[in-house]
């Protein structure tokens, strides 16, 4: 589980579990199904009753019929995600079902301007109107495939970015987190050292605080890219300097050893 850490002005670290990709994909599919059902009901039932069995197509409508279709069908479909994320505090119905939501990088609720910017920079929002043209449920999979192709740059961004952000998130300073994730012992700095003859390599690690150890643990647990690797090197060499020790092995292995030594030494003190 990838974690997102926020440092508060009170020197307290808040941790959020980043929403896994599969949950984001399922939430998006759930929202697409809702939009399809809404459009289908409006076109084949509501409009059918309003116009005495005469099927209304928003593409061929004129005058009042066009205005009705525009404001009760096209606009609701296009602005669906923005509207619900504003009204439901960073959630769409699909996100609510999957237990995920949008927050800003300070750990607070995303602002209106942030939600607007991430909506504007998500290309499939401009193509959602094709859902309105689906005249049968069989079209749904084709529409989903087309929208997935349009979203490919964002999918790649989610998979490669450090905090699983799509392009709109990167620009708006937002992340999508899993609000149902329960922290367990594996998400803490605790490590169970079962070796009875264990000898710490760096007893100087006790000079570090729990907060420092949290930072190390979160850093080595992040998805690797060039920025994270560079940060690992910087942190490792800085700790080597502060503790006045000689790093044995690679920076990543050094930080892992520090975590293990810290756990062993603090457990022995209890």
Q: What is the pLDDT of residues 196-221, one digit of tens each?
A: 678 888 989 888 877 778 778 777 77
Instruction: Compute how many other C-beta atoms are within 10 angstroms of the C-beta atom of residue 25.
Output: 16
pTM over 0.85: no
Q: Which of 134, 119, 155 lies closest to 42 in space, CA to CA?
A: 134
DSSP 4-63: EEEE-TTS-EEEEEBPPHHHHHHHHHHHHHHHHHHHHHIIIIIHHHHTTTPPP-TTT--T
Q: What is the pLDDT of residues 151-188, one digit of tens each?
A: 999 999 999 998 899 999 999 999 999 988 654 434 44
Distance, in Å, from the CA atom of 259 to the CA atom of 244, rounded to the nearest integer, reads: 17
Q: How far are the Cα atoms of 24, 57, 93, 181, 256 from residue 96, in angstroms, in the given order?
A: 11, 32, 5, 14, 37
Specify the pLDDT at position 12: 45
More confident residue, 121 or 223: 121
Average per-residue pLDDT in the chain? Answer: 82
Residues 103, 109 contacting (CB under 8 angstroms): yes
Specify the pLDDT at position 97: 95
Q: What is the pLDDT of residues 62-118, one digit of tens each?
A: 566 777 878 888 899 999 999 999 999 999 999 999 999 999 988 788 999 999 999
More confident residue, 56 or 181: 181
Confidence label for 20 from pLDDT (cuts 50, 70 and 90):
very high
């Amino acid at each position: 589980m990838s974690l997102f850490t926020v440092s508060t002005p009170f020197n307290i670290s808040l941790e959020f579990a980043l929403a896994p990709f599969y949950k984001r994909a399922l939430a998006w599919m759930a929202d697409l199904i809702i939009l399809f059902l809404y459009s289908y009901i409006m076109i084949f039932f509501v409009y059918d009753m309003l116009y005495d069995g005469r099927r209304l197509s928003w593409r061929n409508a004129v005058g009042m019929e066009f205005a009705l279709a525009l404001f009760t069908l096209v606009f609701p479909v296009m602005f669906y995600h923005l509207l619900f994320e504003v009204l439901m505090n960073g959630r769409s119905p699909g996100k609510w079902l999957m237990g995920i939501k949008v927050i800003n990088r300070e750990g607070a609720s995303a602002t209106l301007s942030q939600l607007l910017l991430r909506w504007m920079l998500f290309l499939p929002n401009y193509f959602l109107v094709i859902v309105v043209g689906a005249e049968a449920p069989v079209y749904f999979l084709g529409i989903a495939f087309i929208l997935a192709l349009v979203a490919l740059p964002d999918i790649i961004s989610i998979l490669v970015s450090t905090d699983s952000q799509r392009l709109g998130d990167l620009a708006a300073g937002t992340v999508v987190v899993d609000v149902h994730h329960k922290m367990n012992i594996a998400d803490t700095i605790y490590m169970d050292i079962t070796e009875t003859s264990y000898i710490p390599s760096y007893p100087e690690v006790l000079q570090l605080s729990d907060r420092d150890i949290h930072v190390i643990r979160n850093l080595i647990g992040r998805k690797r890219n060039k920025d994270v690797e560079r940060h690992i090197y910087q942190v490792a060499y800085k700790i080597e300097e502060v503790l006045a020790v000689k790093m044995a092995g690679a920076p990543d292995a050094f930080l892992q050893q520090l975590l293990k030594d810290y756990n062993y030494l603090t457990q022995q003190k209890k």
